[in-house]
Structure formats: C-alpha cells, structure tokens
Amino acid sequence: MKITLTEHDGCFNLDFEAENLADAALLVRFGMNRTKEVQNGHTVANANGTITGYVNFGKNKRNNNYVPRQR
C-alpha cells in the first residue's frame, strides 16, 4: 500500500494507492466500514532517528467483508 500525506491550508490529506489485490480489498473494506470519527492520531520521534505516525478511524457496527452488488 502506498500512502501519501499532504498538507493544505485547512487540513492534512492521506492518499492511499493499492499496490496489489490484498491492498485493493483492504481499501474497499475501509471505504465501506469506516466512520468519519477519528479515534486517535499520534506522531513520535524515536530515539533511533525514525519518525512514525498513525491515525485510527472508527469502524461501523455492520463491519463485514461483503461488497454490495451494484445494479
């Protein structure tokens, strides 16, 4: 999965790009089951010089792996 973080005037933006079928399936589940609630976000500078961060989104109560059929 390729993830790009960009900064704009009023927000930060995370762009996701699937690099294989497993990534594509994960993005579909994310799009279907995530909520708009950002539960947590964190960035840390580690002692070894690396800087890492994460954002947690809420998950819908109906979380499942079924993609509804388009008609």
Per-residue pLDDT of 11-34, as tens digits, reads 999 999 999 999 998 998 888 888
Q: Give the pair of three-digit tokens for residue 41.
A: 């976000």
Q: Rounded distance, CA 1 to CA 24, Å?
A: 9
* Range scoring the smallest mean pLDDT among 1-10, 25-34, 46-55, 61-70: 61-70
N-to-C CA span, the chain? 29
The structure's pTM equals 0.72
In Å, how far are 4, 15, 25, 43 from 22, measured between CA atoms? 18, 17, 5, 26
